Amino acid sequence: MSSRFLKRLSEGAVLFDGAMGTMLYERGVFINRCFDTINLSDPDLVKSIHSDYIKAGADVIETNTFGANRFKLKLHGFDERLQDINAAGASLAREAAGKTGLVAGAIGPLGIRIEPWGPTSNEEARDAFAEQAAVLLEGGVDLFILETFSDLNEIHQAIRALRKISDLPVIAQMALQQDGLGMYGTEPGEFAMRLSSWGADVVGVNCSVGPRMMLEAIEKMADVVDAYLSAQPNAGIPQNVDGRNIYMTSPEYMAEYARRFVSAGASVVGGCCGTTPEHTRAMRNSLVSVLPAVHRINIPDMTRDTEYEVSPIPLEEKSALSGKVSRGEFVRLVELVPPRGCDPEKILKAASFLSDSGVDAINIPDSPRASSRMSALSSAVLIEKECGIETVLHYCCRDRNILGMQSDILGAHALGLRNILIITGDPVKTGDYPDATSVFDIDAIGLTNVVFSLNRGRDIGNHPLGSPTSFFTGVGVNPGAADFELEMDRFHWKVEAGAEFAITQPVFDLEVFERFIERAESRKIPVIAGIWPLTSFKNAEFMNNELPGVSVPDEILERMKTAGTGEKAMMTGVEIAVEILDKLLPRIAGAQVSAPFNRYEMALGVFEKTGK
């Protein structure tokens, strides 16, 4: 491949520019603006920043297009201007670089989760990257730089997209955490090998950390790949000074580390957040006589993809519940809500009663309706230890990031839990603490993929676990969702991600369920129906009006209204639940009967009256 950039790279260290966002912010652009659109609203400002970096000695400047993809631009209402924004970004950088400078088309992550962590497909992601890159290519960039990625699969799709439309050089850079690993815990050496094998011409790291931590990463990468390496650190960790985040690392400090990067094996050096033309000028002076070091390759066995293969635990051996389901036996689950306080006595008493009555497992919801309760994980462990009955741990994606989720799930396995139901979770606005913060780092589809990997002996960073987990993995599904087609698409994606069973929202409308099961049966995983014994007319009204996707037919509402209140109403609720379950039996693998207001005898009554 002939390329001005690769030729320049073969001659010695290449210096990239520094931060664009930092400079725009310093010159009065508010942080809540879409920085990419400044290419259109104030092109002279963007061009002047490019020019300042060229004057400071940068060999390569990056286009102001880091977030100019369809997904991120749509958040600001500029997705229809994608072509204009990227074309202007390439043009402004090209003008500033002149005849001798080089221009890198900057492309960042899409800002959404793609498979296996989210619903956006790999193909859709590639299309989005290719769409942006095509405009930059037409605008005359000399190379592409993919930067600040945390998801290896996402950057893989970006590389594939670029290789499909162009043979220009590609730099692929991952972001680091403060522990020196990738955002998902991946070792720098491992992602360097992957990026190189996928066709990147230069592999490296940028953003999130300062020079010292990045140097350690470059040293690890240099040991395992025979490729050009790049390092573009932040100007240290920002400090809050009078309400502003200020980067404190001096140009002199960055210059010293620029030499160390090159000595460690880096061929591309530059700056990220917090760096300015002053930092670039200092690095230029430091690198005048430095050439990339030659290093010996020593690939550690642990980083090889095929070195560690384990077989997943067979479905029938994962738990007593999975064994029963795999044999086609009807399973009986009862849902018990954890206590609001720290005293587990009542839930343990209920679980013991249900265990003695022959129930197969206890479902433990995770902060249902965004309410604050004892943790589902703790409740499940106590029940299994004290009551001798298996639980199905509901695990909600709302409250934890992906690393916290993995830690919890590994801990749950170590404590003996084997059945898990993965749910995305209700928004906190519906619950006890509406000002609490939701995380939603990934949704139920993404977490199902995580558990699928754990069940095959690999964590989210693709590190071997030593032995696989053996979770019987379930997902929630809502037959009456407002957007039925989207719900069925998501159900399909959950099954593709590794779901082994599904539990529905409470079923009252048989026509709604029939529409769902006709589609669900093609997915070939067992469906456990959610059954809710109504306790009163008010309870029926609540379910019909305030529980998303649940519809209570008028006939049932009228029966509950006629029943009045108290024991008669609860008996009517059980009768209705029995009638519904009887009609569902031919199409389901089991039932999860809720115990409203902890009236677990109502739940047991439903099973007894159906002969199940």
Residue 265 tokens read as: 């094996």
Find the DSSP H helices in 309-443: 315-318, 320-326, 345-356, 376-387, 402-414
3-state SS, residue 265: coil
Find out if CATH 3.40.50.300 is the number for domain 325-610: no
**What pTM was computed for the model?**
0.69
Alpha carbon distance 305, 303 (integer Å): 6
pLDDT for 309 = 59
Nearest to 87 by CA among 20, 145, 136, 42: 136
pLDDT at residue 248 in the model: 64
Nearest one of 419, 379, 610, 586 to 499, comparing CA atoms: 419
- Tell me which H or E stretch contains 159: helix 152-165
Per DSSP bridges, beta strands 244-246 and 239-241 are antiparallel
Distances (CA, A) of 504 to 67, 235, 367, 496: 38, 50, 17, 18
Q: Comparing C-alpha atoms, which of 108, 109, 129, 106 is closest to residue 118?
A: 109
Dist. CA 546–CA 535, nearest whole Å: 16
Q: Which residues contact 339 (CB under 8 A, 6 or more apart)?
A: 346, 347, 373, 374, 379
The number of C-alpha atoms within 13 Å of 170 and in the hemisphere containing its C-beta is: 25
Cis peptide before 116 (omega within 30 of 0): yes
The domain ranges of the chain are 4-306, 325-610
Domains 4-306 and 325-610 share a fold: yes
- 415-469: per-residue pLDDT in tens? 999 999 999 876 654 444 445 555 567 788 889 989 999 999 988 877 888 899 9
CATH class of the structural domain 4-306: alpha beta
Phi and psi angles of residue 123, each rounded to the nearest 5 degrees, phi first: -65, -40
Determine contact, residues 228/200, Cβ cutoff 8 Å: no
Give the residue ranges of the chain where pLDDT is below 70: 1-2, 238-248, 288-309, 368-371, 426-440
CB 362 within 8 A of CB 351: yes
Sheet holding 266-269, edge to edge: 14-15, 266-269, 228-232, 202-206, 170-174, 143-149, 102-107, 60-62
Quick one: which of 150, 189, 221, 126 has its CA closest to 441? Answer: 150
Given this model, what pLDDT does residue 294 score? 39
Token pair for 529: 């129906």
Q: Using an 8 Å Cβ cutoff, are 217 and 182 in contact?
A: no
Closest CA to 60 of 107, 10, 96, 108: 96
Among 191, 183, 190, 124, which residue's Cα sits nearest to residue 158? 124
Residue 216, number of CB atoms within 10 A of its CB: 14
